[in-house]
Amino acid sequence: MHSQDNPFEAFVDGPRSTVSPTGKGPLSGLTFAVKDLIDVAGVPTGGGNPDWERTHPVPDRHAPSVARLLANGAEMIGKTRTDEISLGILGENVHYGMPVNPASPERVPGGSSSGSAVAVAAGLADFALGTDTGGSVRVPSSFCGLFGIRPSHGSVDFTGVVAQALDYDTVGWFARDAAMLETVGTILLDTDEPHHPVQLLVAEDAFRFADDDIASALAEPLSRLAAVIGSPRNVTVASQGLSVWQGAQRVLQSSQAARHLGPWLAETNPRLAFTVARALLRGQAYTDEERGRAALMKREANQRMHNLLADGSILALPTTPFVAPLRTEAVSGYDRDRISCLTSIAGLSGLPQVNLPWRRSDGVPVGLSIVGARGSDRTLLAIARKWEEAGR
Amino acid sequence: MHSQDNPFEAFVDGPRSTVSPTGKGPLSGLTFAVKDLIDVAGVPTGGGNPDWERTHPVPDRHAPSVARLLANGAEMIGKTRTDEISLGILGENVHYGMPVNPASPERVPGGSSSGSAVAVAAGLADFALGTDTGGSVRVPSSFCGLFGIRPSHGSVDFTGVVAQALDYDTVGWFARDAAMLETVGTILLDTDEPHHPVQLLVAEDAFRFADDDIASALAEPLSRLAAVIGSPRNVTVASQGLSVWQGAQRVLQSSQAARHLGPWLAETNPRLAFTVARALLRGQAYTDEERGRAALMKREANQRMHNLLADGSILALPTTPFVAPLRTEAVSGYDRDRISCLTSIAGLSGLPQVNLPWRRSDGVPVGLSIVGARGSDRTLLAIARKWEEAGR
């Protein structure tokens, strides 16, 4: 299944592109991979869709996020596969296929930053850039057993990246250990220095929302987190229900994606997976009234998260409500929506979230997430490192 | 653009399949091509979509229409390109590209039986099989300057053919001259012997519906038709408006296509052109009430056509409301619908229709159509031959 040049099918097809570092720094000697949604000068940006690649010029400059990494000593070793136009959560791509999850090869890797997660999980790169609009870094982190961050919205320059829905789009990254995740953060993030977390909050509604085996598998990593931060307090995040938050995020995100991609769809008539075309058409079909109601819900969700976290508290929740589904399994729309019920908490409010990887007793990855206030990215990264150290 | 093995891009990619005749007969020495929606034993049926081909077994028997042609002496020389799953009217295919119209290379060939029309127009085959659900033989006949027939619904066995909407699907064929079209008809049709037409009716509303240059270009072939049949009488076909007939056909045809293709879409999640996915989703979205109203309109249209033609009268109309659009032109939904306003007359009522090819003063093909009562296929073919002879 995987060729010698592309083990685990992490990279895009064709000759592997590499870019040497442009300077020296904290990342010297490290390698990284780049999701094929992010511009690397001289390399086509495929966006996971052959017609996207065909209808866009080869970029003549690096995305600022890539340029920073190169300037700080890292070597770019390849563009990675993605769900087409980032519209997917499992790692599916009808044009190019699904990468192999190194942590559990019979299971999906998660997406849409599938190849970046797989490249890191397989040890092919030290770290990798992805994007996260509705969960595209967090879900593959959880499924592949990686540390991964979706930063505060707006904290990492999104220039030179294929947009899905700019109000939610972020550039995130993956690493096998928390120290590496944090080191990359010192380069990419302009947010505040880490501060000491005030209180650990446990999202009861999110834990109840996950399958029983997830909640029990996360008991140990959660108590280790309590050892790092302090004794936890249970909270209900969404009094309206997580499904209501998810519904609002879906309306807003997919309306914006449909509006943004509309001219390209009309001009190109691209080949798309039937389900991707369907999602875009649903995005076009929402009424102004539906969008208006979703915007009000977003406002209330933002206020709620501010009330919970503005004092420096940290929220813990399962990253995904279940482990990576089997590749052979048809995943229902219901279960896809269950995933975004959890990712909508940080997504709708633009907050940073870090996945702390763990293993179920049978070795299959599960993920515990921490979410902090806007701009607390480096605090989350420091907590992740201390959490990792506490396990040694 | 066109390879040596596939001039005019008429044939499907890959090694060209040929099948020798299985008997001798009226077609001995003749060659034919087959739309890639129709089964030829041992050759994949691609349906114009890579995922259709991938998810269907290679047929182990010929479609009965193909078997009849082979048994009567004809040689099969290749499978031809089609709009994917026959869902198109211009000859577009985002996966494999558009064949070149030999009569007017800067213009589209028409579809969905694009490759079959092009193979015949280019002289690569003596005749070719296509399918016609909503105009897929009639439109490329008109655009490529060919004789072409959409037979009475049910008069040619549809077994072994990729269905779009079985209540409207037919197997039709193309030829460069009317004698050839008729000869093939004697093999494929089990309908009545030709009879003498009673009256020529001219569809005033259909002529008014076409562009002015079409109506004027068709004046001469229409008077030649009057010379064959007798002096014409003007009629209005659709008192409700052709757009109302077209609307009913669209609701019924695309609902049936969506229902029929639904399980394959759900199971395969195929790569589709965005516009094709959109059309299928619209087909899924019609309500029972909309389908019910369309079915009543169909009943009234059938009754109207019966009243006009059951006595043996023949209806003349422009095959398409304009000549083939330029390949570089974006054809609006409005103009695509204009085409089906004319094709819905025979489509909705299941009647046979033959295109009589003509040329505008600048040499671009235009098409005059004749429509007869159900089962009058051989009468239409005989009229076409006499019309052709009258021009010598």
Q: Would you give per-residue pLDDT tens digits along chain A (392 residues)?
A: 456 788 899 999 888 899 999 999 999 999 999 999 999 999 999 999 999 999 999 999 999 999 999 999 999 999 999 999 999 999 999 999 999 999 999 999 999 999 999 999 999 999 999 999 999 999 999 999 999 999 999 999 999 999 999 999 999 999 999 999 999 999 999 877 889 988 999 999 999 999 999 999 999 999 999 999 999 999 999 999 999 999 999 999 999 999 999 999 999 999 999 999 999 999 999 999 999 999 999 999 999 999 999 999 999 999 999 999 999 999 999 999 999 999 999 999 999 999 999 999 999 999 999 999 999 999 999 999 999 999 88
In chain A, which residue's Cα lies nearest the Cα of B273?
A: A271
Residue B94 with chain A: CB contacts under 8 Å: 51, 269-271
Of these residues, A65, A86, A104, A112, which one is catalytic?
A112
pLDDT of residue B335: 96
B3: which 2 tokens?
């390879």
The conformation of residue B23, written as its DSSP 8-state character, comes to S
d(CA A214, CA A320): 9
**Which 3 state secondary structure label does DSSP give A213?**
helix
Say if the Cβ atoms of B274 and A273 lie within 8 Å: no
Residue B281 with chain A: CB contacts under 8 Å: 277-278, 281
Catalytic residue list contains A142: no
Say if the Cβ atoms of A269 and B273 lie within 8 Å: yes
Do residues A141 and A117 lie in contact, with contact meaning Cβ atoms separated by under 8 Å?
A: yes
Q: At what angle do helices B242-268 and B288-309 cross, to 10 degrees?
A: 130
> Rounded mean pLDDT of B265-282?
97
Question: Is A192 part of any domain?
Answer: yes
Say if the Cβ atoms of B270 and A95 lie within 8 Å: no
Based on its alpha-carbon atoms, the radius of gyration of chain A, rounded to whole angstroms, reads 19
> Rounded mean pLDDT of B310-324?
97
pLDDT of residue A190: 87
Say if the Cβ atoms of B274 and A277 lie within 8 Å: yes
Question: Is B172 part of any domain?
Answer: yes
Residue appearing with tokens 């033959």: B354
d(CA A242, CA B296): 46
Within 10 Å of residue A392's Cβ, how many Cβ atoms?
Answer: 4
Do residues B38 and B66 lie in contact, with contact meaning Cβ atoms separated by under 8 Å?
A: yes
ipTM of the assembly? Answer: 0.84
In chain A, which residue's Cα lies nearest the Cα of B274?
A: A269
H or E segment and range at residue A86:
none
Do residues B118 and B12 lie in contact, with contact meaning Cβ atoms separated by under 8 Å?
A: no
Residue A277 with chain B: CB contacts under 8 Å: 272, 274, 277-278, 281
Mutation target for A interface from B268, B271, B275: give the one with most A CBs within 10 A: B271
Question: Is A93 part of any domain?
Answer: yes
d(CA A89, CA A108): 10
d(CA B261, CA A306): 48
Question: Is A256 part of any domain?
Answer: no
Asked if pLDDT for residue B11 goes beyond 80, the answer is yes
b/e sequence A365-386, b meaning 16+ C-beta within 10 Å? bbbbbbbbbbbbbbbbbbbbbb
**Structural domain of B188:** 9-241+289-390
Chain centroid to Cα B179, Å, comes to: 18
Residue A281 with chain B: CB contacts under 8 Å: 277-278, 281
Mutation target for B interface from A54, A84, A87, A274: give the one with most B CBs within 10 A: A274
**Which 3 state secondary structure label does DSSP give A196?**
coil
**Which 3 state secondary structure label does DSSP give A34?**
strand
Q: Which residues of B touch A (CB under 8 A)?
A: 51, 92, 94-95, 265, 268-275, 277-278, 280-281
In chain B, which residue's Cα lies nearest the Cα of A275?
A: B269
Separation in Å, CA of A24 to nearest CA in chain B: 44
Of these residues, A65, A86, A104, A136, which one is catalytic?
A136
Number of domains in chain B: 1
Question: Is B121 part of any domain?
Answer: yes
Do residues A325 and A90 lie in contact, with contact meaning Cβ atoms separated by under 8 Å?
A: yes
Say if the Cβ atoms of B278 and A281 lie within 8 Å: yes
d(CA B242, CA B245): 5
d(CA B187, CA B173): 12
Residue B271 with chain A: CB contacts under 8 Å: 94-95, 271-274
Q: Where are any strands of DSSP class E within A133-192?
A: 147-150, 170-175
Q: Are strands B271-273 and B200-203 parallel, antiparallel or unpaired?
A: unpaired
Residue A101 buriedness (CB in 10 A; 0-12 / 13-18 / 19+): buried
Query: Could you tell me the strand order of the sheet in which B314-318 lies?
Result: B75-80, B31-35, B127-132, B170-175, B147-150, B353-359, B365-371, B314-318, B200-203, B232-235
Do residues A237 and A205 lie in contact, with contact meaning Cβ atoms separated by under 8 Å?
A: yes
Residues making up chain B, counted from first to last = 392
Report the number of secondary-structure helices (H) and strands (E) in chain B.
13, 11
Say if the Cβ atoms of B271 and A271 lie within 8 Å: yes
d(CA A104, CA A82): 19
pLDDT of residue B1: 43
Cis peptide leading into residue A112 (ω within 30°): yes
CATH of the domain at A183: 3.90.1300.10
Question: Is A248 part of any domain?
Answer: no
d(CA B228, CA B327): 36
pLDDT of residue A118: 98
Residues of B with active-site annotation: 35, 112, 136
Number of A/B CB contacts below 8 angstroms equals: 52
Q: Which of A236, B201, A275, A201 has its CA nearest to residue A283? A: A275
Residue appearing with tokens 């004809």: B74
Q: How far apart are the first and last CA of chain A?
A: 36
* pTM, rounded to two decimals: 0.90
Residue B265 with chain A: CB contacts under 8 Å: 274
H or E segment and range at residue A16:
none
Question: Is A251 part of any domain?
Answer: no
Can you give the three-state secondary structure of B310-354, one letter per residue? CCCCEEEEECCCCCCCECCCCCCHHHHHHHHHHHHHHHHHCCCEE
> Rounded mean pLDDT of B23-41?
98
Residue A273 with chain B: CB contacts under 8 Å: 269-272
Question: Is A61 part of any domain?
Answer: yes
Sign of torsion over alpha carbons A374, A376, A381, A386: negative
